[in-house]
Amino acid sequence: MVDALYSKPRIAAPPAPARNRLWRLLGWALALAFLVYLPNVLAHRAAFGVRLTNTELLNLGLTQINLMLIAMLGALSLNYLTGCAGLISIGHAAFYATGAMTAAIVGTQWGWPFPLALAAAAVTGALAGVVAGLPSLRVRGLYFVLSTLAVHHVIVFVFLEYQFRFFDVVGVPFEAPLLGSYELNTPTRWYFFLLPLVAVVYWALRNSLNTREGRAMRAMRDHELAAAAAGVNVRILRLKAFAFSSAIASMAGALLAYFMSNVTSEAFGLDFAIQFIAMIIIGGLGSLGGSLVGAAIWLLLPSILSGLAPQGGDASGWMGALLVDHKPQLVQAIFGLLIILLLIFAPGGVAGLGQKLKALFSSRGAR
């Protein structure tokens, strides 16, 4: 009995390190190879010389992948704020708008180079984040959520006024950005600019969570009074989290503006903010990896669904008619139901499901 207990430890013993590291390296190498090869497949619609149909490629294009990468920045920053610091914001679209507006002023109007415009967007985003976080010094919980809603309306109004003062209904134009002599004018070039950027932001956020302040932040999320009693300056930390998160969101907004090459104030409505909350709920609150998955599902599922539309049409059922006539509504309904089901049955989102699955397998293995 005792022997059995000791010979099969409940806690997974550290496995043979060298072999494990090799497997992990191999996994990373494979993932990297896939990510580098992906734009080639999507651009030429062929893999290793074999032509692929639209359906086999899930109806995806490189533009969607790029939009997904930009959305990942927003989802990461919101999950950092909401999932890790415990501050709910429904005003995240406002920081995108801040970034787009900053890029419009310094990039389109003053003609600053693209990297400087991005940096400026990050700085103004951080400032706007501190201002938007100020109510957190006085109110919390539900009231704070509402203050972010109010801030959203204020910032989007400022963007609207700015747009009509200097441009017109058509929106604010942006030139194709230059990185030195490398012009970001094709989807593939954008992809190879955005992919490392997302990786760097992910890595930075992940590491920052393991610093002293990152741990203090999570303590603040779990129990504010306890964290304050342990010597955490909760107020300053909240503002810092807000500034960091909104700087990233604002940079993503500037990137989105340059990527779309034209932006109007309507783009940053409440729906835009809600989609980020949806992404982190689908992916899993507090899980940075989950936010990537959530953003991928949110951005790619619509085109995957429309890829299924022609087949549904051949089946000539009411489902097919529904897919053809009401695609956007159907996508919205599916997303809404997905969120409701996840909230009720899997509060941890995709990340939580993954962990459950892992626990299931590892407990099997140990038994």
Interface with other proteins, residue 32, by CB under 8 A: no
Q: Is 168 helix (H, G, I), strand (E, B) or coil?
A: strand
CA 261, CA 228: separation in Å to the nearest integer?
46
- Choice between 30 and 337, CB closer to other proteins: 337
155 touches 98 (CB < 8 A): yes
Interface with other proteins, residue 88, by CB under 8 A: yes
One symbol per residue from 279 to 318: x for binding other proteins (CB under 8 A), - otherwise; what is it?
--x---x---------------------------------
**Residue 278 Cβ vs other proteins, minimum distance, rounded to whole Å:** 8
Q: Amino acid identity, residue 2?
A: V
Token pair for 78 = 């919101």
Residue tagged 């509060």 (tokens): 347
Query: Quick one: residue 261, left, alpha or beta (phi over 0 = left, psi -120 to 50 = alpha)?
Result: left
CA 281, CA 67: separation in Å to the nearest integer?
19
Q: Which of 41, 52, 119, 160 binds other proteins (CB under 8 A)?
A: 160
Interface with other proteins, residue 33, by CB under 8 A: no
- Which residues are CB-neighbours of 261 under 8 A, at least 6 positions away? 173, 174, 175, 176
Q: Which of 339, 346, 354, 355 binds other proteins (CB under 8 A)?
A: 339
Q: Which of 8, 21, 45, 153 binds other proteins (CB under 8 A)?
A: 153
Task: Choose the binding region for other proteins from 6-14, 102-110, 113-121, 333-341 (rule: CB under 8 A).
Answer: 333-341
Give Rg (Cα) of the chain: 23
- Choice between 115 and 347, CB closer to other proteins: 347
Interface with other proteins, residue 336, by CB under 8 A: yes
Cα distances (Å, whole numbers) of residue 88 to 32, 135, 144, 150, 254:
34, 13, 8, 13, 23
**Residue 303 Cβ vs other proteins, minimum distance, rounded to whole Å:** 18
**Residue 352 Cβ vs other proteins, minimum distance, rounded to whole Å:** 13
Interface with other proteins, residue 320, by CB under 8 A: no
- Which residues are CB-neighbours of 197 under 8 A, at least 6 positions away? 69, 73, 255
Q: Which of 13, 18, 170, 225 binds other proteins (CB under 8 A)?
A: 225
Interface with other proteins, residue 150, by CB under 8 A: yes
**Residue 154 Cβ vs other proteins, minimum distance, rounded to whole Å:** 6
* Backbone φ and ψ of 86, nearest 5°: 75, 20
**Residue 174 Cβ vs other proteins, minimum distance, rounded to whole Å:** 24
CA 15, CA 18: separation in Å to the nearest integer?
9
CA 135, CA 15: separation in Å to the nearest integer?
49
Interface with other proteins, residue 343, by CB under 8 A: yes
Token pair for 114 = 């693209």
Task: Choose the binding region for other proteins from 43-51, 171-179, 203-211, 278-286 (rule: CB under 8 A).
Answer: 278-286
103 touches 121 (CB < 8 A): yes
Binding site for other proteins (CB under 8 A): 82, 88, 135, 138-139, 141-143, 145-147, 149-151, 153-154, 157, 160, 225, 274, 277-278, 281, 285, 322, 326, 329-330, 332-333, 335-337, 339-340, 343-344, 347
